[in-house]
A and B are shown apart, each in its own frame.
Chain A
Amino acid sequence: MSVVTLDRRDSGTSGTSFTRLLRWLDDGVDSKGERYLEIRRRLVAYFDRRNRPAPDILADETLDRVSRTLEESGRIKVTPPARYCYVVARFVLLEDIRRNQREVPFDETRPASQHNPSANRAETDDGAERSLQCLTHCLNKLKPEDRTLIVEYYRDAKRQRIDRRRELARGLGISMNALAIRTWRLRASLEACVAACRNRR
């Protein structure tokens, strides 16, 4: 069974409020925190698609507000809970847009001549090298069957790839859609592993 780690270091939400939030998001089905992580992922993606510079912070702010409302009013009638989270997220988005219109980030006040593309390029080269090393390391940490699945799923191109995926799904006895979701989860765990590995190095 996988263990879900919920990181709420920057949150102003107390332990009890957070438990109440988790229960409310679960909507009657105990997900052991998975639902919270899922809604947070969706909110981060929403803010990111809206090109906000700090989508993680905005997602946390959204969930903190929902938690405070739950704390104050005891209950939120809107269902499903994700819909209310979206309503609050829109407010958070509006405020962030408005705040950014008023503020000029310090970096933007620097002269443009200080920007050094060649230095960035060297950094990017190093970064790519590090990422590849981490990726190899993380791939090796996967269970053999998961590693085989992700390699087989993403190899080849276009037509061959579609055929290969169809064969994989048939072999596992699941639909193409279920296969896509299973590999997406593996890929997401790989991405997280690579990010953690890069931070360590």
Chain B
Amino acid sequence: MRRRVPESAMKDFAASHPIDTRMAMPPTPPISDDHLIRYLLGALPADEVERLDERTVVDDELAERLRVVEDDLVDSYAAGTLTGERLQRFETFYLASPRRRSKAAFAKGLRAAIDRSTHQPRPVQNRATQPARQIWHASWWPLAAAAVLILAIGVLFLQNFTLRRELRETARHMADASQRATTAAQQLEVEQAATAAAKQALVDARSAPALAVVALVLLPQTRGVTSVSIVAVPPGASALPLNLRLESPGGTSYDVALRDPASNRTIWRSRSLAPERVRQIPMVPVSLPTGLLKAQHYALDLFELRPGSAPDFVSSYAFEVVRQ
């Protein structure tokens, strides 16, 4: 069954869908440390951020490298060696999260603890065993020992005082930076809200013209938070036709479950569906009852049906419903 779907929605989806729909990861060029630092500091374009988001979850080697690069970056900040734009981005972007602020605080503490352990004063016993002791009269020994002890306590007290002062300064610096980061994050949220409103207005405006009688093609989700397809459901439509593109054809029978991602509950299930070829591309056509659809995100889970075994999960397809 084919019902009206906004042509613009289909065009938009086709044009702005940068996701990699292949299940196997294509060979990728090596990523430099500098590139990873820019990723951590929010200085990369959105599509590159999404590409790296996926790789940092899926790719074991990159995940480990990213942690090492992140620790080095945070240590540089703790050591005060970050400068210029990198410092600014660190304070406004990186420190916007409490978890990352805590990492920075830990790095400062670790640095202080390591400095302390590598600059320990000489133990008191060493001073007491200096050659000078041999020429002192035996009765002077307690006085000399007391003097050395007082000196050592003085040194330790001074060191402790200096360390505490440095810590307080560090903490103050952190608090100021965190205040600046919070302000910047608030500004960012305001801008994001404005962008979202503009985007919605654009979608509404585009979907106003005449509707085409076509089925919207959905691709399996692998990445791309911003690339979820928007489906405008016209008033009065009773069914929404969709074609789910198959990445690995071969099955003869499928079924589809419509899931509300908020509750993760399956709210509708199709009957058995046969795959079709549309312009040589294997697809599974499905028609959703629009009465179930509210203005929100949905996920369609595709299962391959095989006689005598449980349905085999194939892929998930995300889309967002907009009511006209």
Contacts and interface: CB of A to CB of B under 8 A. Distances in A.
Q: Do A and B bind each other?
A: yes
Interface of A: 38-39, 42-46, 48-51, 55, 65, 68-69, 72-80, 82-83, 85-95, 98-99, 101, 117, 120-121, 124-125, 127-129, 131-132, 135-136, 139, 150-151, 154-155, 157-158, 177, 180-181, 184, 187, 190-191, 194
3 cross-chain pairs, A with B, having the tightest CB-CB distances, nearest first: A74-B310, A128-B171, A73-B313
Contact of A77 (B56, B168, B313): B313
Interface stretch (B1-9, B94-102, B147-155, B286-294): B94-102
Nearest to A79: B23
21 contacts: A43-B57, A51-B96, A73-B303, A73-B311, A80-B58, A83-B222, A85-B57, A87-B221, A90-B225, A91-B261, A91-B297, A94-B228, A98-B296, A101-B196, A128-B171, A135-B109, A136-B113, A136-B116, A154-B110, A155-B114, A155-B118
A127 B117 CA distance: 21
Of B57, B223, B296, most buried by chain A (CB within 10 Å of CB) is: B57
Contact of A86 (B23, B57, B193, B196): B57
A154 B168 CA distance: 22
B75 interface: yes
Given A125-B168, A191-B106, 14 more contacts: A42-B57, A49-B53, A49-B97, A72-B266, A77-B315, A78-B23, A86-B54, A86-B223, A94-B318, A117-B179, A120-B175, A131-B109, A154-B110, A155-B114
Interface stretch (B61-69, B123-131, B209-217, B230-238): B61-69
Nearest to A179: B68
A66 to B, nearest CB: 10
Contacts of B208: none
A124 B96 CA distance: 16
B56 A42 contact: yes
A190 B110 contact: yes
B179 A184 contact: no
Interface residues of B, number: 70
Given A121-B171, A181-B68, A194 B313 contact: no
A129 B56 contact: no
A80 B60 CA distance: 11
A94 B110 contact: no
A89 B97 contact: no
A95 B262 contact: yes
A78 to B, nearest CB: 6
A54 B221 CA distance: 24
Contact of A129 (B67, B167, B223, B313): B167
Given A86-B54, A154-B114, A190-B110, A75 B171 contact: no
Given A42-B56, A89-B57, A101-B193, A157 B171 contact: no
A74 B108 CA distance: 47
Contacts of B262: 95, 99
B71 interface: yes
A40 to B, nearest CB: 11
B310 A75 contact: yes
B12 interface: no
B174 A124 contact: yes
Contacts of B187: none
B225 A184 contact: no
B64 A128 contact: no
A35 B112 CA distance: 33
B221 to A, nearest CB: 5
B322 interface: no
B40 interface: yes
Nearest to B310: A74
Contacts of B253: none
B299 to A, nearest CB: 6
Contacts of A127: 105, 171
Contact of A132 (B96, B113, B175, B312): B113
A48 B63 contact: no
B82 interface: no
A45 B69 CA distance: 14
A94 B106 contact: no
A42 B171 CA distance: 28
B1 to A, nearest CB: 27
B32 interface: no
Contacts of B318: 90-91, 94
A69 B313 contact: yes
B272 to A, nearest CB: 16
Contacts of B221: 87, 90-91
Interface in B239-269: 261-262, 264, 266
A156 B311 CA distance: 58
Contacts of A48: 97, 99-100
Given A93-B225, A131-B106, A154-B111, A87 B316 contact: yes
